[in-house]
Amino acid sequence: MAAKPSIPKGTRDFSPVEMAKRNYIFNTIRDVYHLYGFQQIETPAMEMLSTLMGKYGDEGDKLLFKIQNSGDYFSGITDEELLSRNAAKLASKFCEKGLRYDLTVPFARYVVMHRDEITFPFKRYQIQPVWRADRPQKGRYREFYQCDADVVGSDSLLNEVELMQIVDTVFSRFNIRVCIKINNRKILSGIAEIIGESDKIVDITVAIDKLDKIGLDNVNAELKEKGISDEAIAKLQPIILLSGTNAEKLATLKNVLAASEVGLKGVEESEFILNTLETMGLKNEIELDLTLARGLNYYTGAIFEVKALDVQIGSITGGGRYDNLTGVFGMAGVSGVGISFGADRIFDVLNQLDLYPKEAVNGTELLFINFGEKEAAFSMGILSKVRAAGIRAEIFPDTAKMKKQMSYANAKNIPFVAIVGENEMNEGKAMLKNMETGEQNLVSAEELIAAIR
């Protein structure tokens, strides 16, 4: 007996219903990106390992899926190298390519390769899968989609403002209530500077980023463990616990960071973004949150994160401002700002809150029952008109028992069924049955279209 097939851990099959839901997510995000003037690009699933290696740190390099060279990949390798069993060294000889780990590094490579064709500022979006050789667990997959949008080649804070409007528009269309959290890397640098621990900025921000999860006492204990002085920790307390409106927080920060030029610059940038958004009439809450410290080694200005208010789940969107995106490929000075929607987490939130619109997840709207050759030929004429009107419709391909055909309609949640027998053909009409109410009416092709619409 043949072994039962399986798929690699950390990957998934998606059913037609799940695909309809996922496409609703992707199409909604894509439509909003277009609304704001972003253009779509795609990059290959595999990149040269020389492009990917060294861009994500040592841990990231370990999580890259490497692709074995085709042909005789043993040529040029000595017996000594083979017997050394040095996996990393051998992989570098066996493999020249790898699956992309994210969309950002391929985007940087794309900008450098196509710099002469690109009009700056360049507003691009990308909705594609990425792969990570991570340990699969709940909510963490080895293959998943990212939905990125970036503006490169512009320092204007209007880009940050528009990205926050995109976030607000997308989640308003999904009917998901969210809180958009904003911070600035420069504010965090200023805080580290005024408490006299500039060299410990990463340790400080990694610790305060955990405030929601582990509480203030544990954050302070972690800071102490990292060698930060009691005096510095004491100075941090009012900053970590800063509360009030966004305007009140900004006013306090201006005083606290008065001696830090970089800190005040971060406050000024945040104030511009928040004040401009206030005039835009956002539907969702936006909050200045000093404990937000995502991707600190990467971001250089504003940082964003989005939390769903009605479901317990991690961040569902994130992003920020970065400098020198393309520097690793020899093209210095290209600043950018971007966001990434977490499609898989949004999928989970929409499922939990049952927020998918019926028209987004329903497939076929009308099924024609097949009673035989003549009836099917007559039905096909009406079917052409129905499809021309934009209604998703099909005919059961085989002459089968009525019960089997109706079961098919029920299994696929088809809301209407058209029944065409001898009497209906004589009148040039069809019997339209509403599967939800059971109501039946004899209708012409035009009336049938109007009834379904």
Burial class for 170, CB neighbours closer than 10 Å (0-12, 13-18, 19+): buried
Say what the pLDDT of residue 61 is: 84
Domain boundaries, the chain: 16-42+101-353, 46-99, 362-452
Q: Per residue in 316-359, pLDDT tens? A: 999 999 888 888 888 888 999 999 999 989 999 999 999 998 87
Q: Is the pLDDT of residue 107 over 60?
A: yes
Q: Per residue in 180-234, pLDDT tens? A: 999 999 999 998 898 888 888 878 877 877 877 788 888 888 888 888 888 888 8
Question: Which pLDDT band, with edges at 50, 70 and 90, does 235 fall under?
Answer: confident
Say what the pLDDT of residue 93 is: 66
Question: Which pLDDT band, with edges at 50, 70 and 90, does 277 fall under?
Answer: very high
Q: Is the pLDDT of residue 369 over 90?
A: yes
The answer to whether 289 is annotated as binding is no
What is the rounded average pLDDT of the residues 245-260? Answer: 93
CATH class of 362-452: alpha beta
The answer to whether 132 is annotated as binding is yes
Say what the pLDDT of residue 128 is: 97
Strand partners, 23: none
Three-class SS of the chain: CCCCCCCCCCCCCCCHHHHHHHHHHHHHHHHHHHHCCCEECCCCCEEEHHHHCCCCHHHHHHCCCEEECCCCCCCCCCHHHHHHCCHHHHHHHHEEEEECCCCHHHHHHHHHHCCCCCCCCEEEEEEEEEECCCCCECCECCEEEEEEEEEECCCCCHHHHHHHHHHHHHHHHHCCCEEEEEEEHHHHHHHHHHCCCHHHHHHHHHHHCCHHHHHHHHHHHHHHHCCCCHHHHHHHHHHHCCCCCHHHHHHHHHHHCCCCHHHHHHHHHHHHHHHHHHCCCCCCEEEECCCCCCCCCCCCCEEEEEEECCCCCCCCEEEEEECCCCHHHCCCCCCEEEEEECHHHHHHHHHHHCCCCHHHHCCCCEEECCCCHHHHHHHHHHHHHHHHCCCCEEECCCCCCHHHHHHHHHHCCCCEEEECCHHHHHHCCEEEEECCCCCEEEECHHHHHHHHC
Question: What tokens appear for 19 in the block?
Answer: 């695909």
Q: Is the pLDDT of residue 86 over 70?
A: no
What is the rounded average pLDDT of the residues 281-295? Answer: 88
Q: Per residue in 392-447, pLDDT tens? A: 999 999 999 999 999 999 999 999 999 999 999 999 999 999 999 999 999 999 99
The answer to whether 146 is annotated as binding is yes
CATH of 16-42+101-353, one of 2.40.30.10, 3.30.930.10, 3.30.450.40, 3.40.50.261: 3.30.930.10
Fold agreement between 16-42+101-353 and 362-452: no
How far is the C-alpha of 126 from the C-alpha of 341, rounded, in Å?
A: 11
The answer to whether 103 is annotated as binding is yes
Evaluate whether 250 touches 288 at the Cβ level (below 8 Å).
yes
Rg (Cα) of the chain, in Å, rounded? 28
The answer to whether 43 is annotated as binding is no
What is the rounded average pLDDT of the residues 247-255? Answer: 93
Question: What tokens appear for 43 in the block?
Answer: 């990059």
The answer to whether 326 is annotated as binding is no
The answer to whether 299 is annotated as binding is yes
The answer to whether 294 is annotated as binding is yes
- pLDDT, averaged across the chain: 90
Question: Which pLDDT band, with edges at 50, 70 and 90, does 377 fall under?
Answer: very high
Say what the pLDDT of residue 326 is: 87
Q: Is the pLDDT of residue 83 over 90?
A: no
Say what the pLDDT of residue 73 is: 63
Kindly state the percentage of the chain with pLDDT values over 90.
66
- For the entire predicted model, the pTM comes to 0.88
Say what the pLDDT of residue 178 is: 97
How far is the C-alpha of 310 from the C-alpha of 369, rounded, in Å?
A: 43
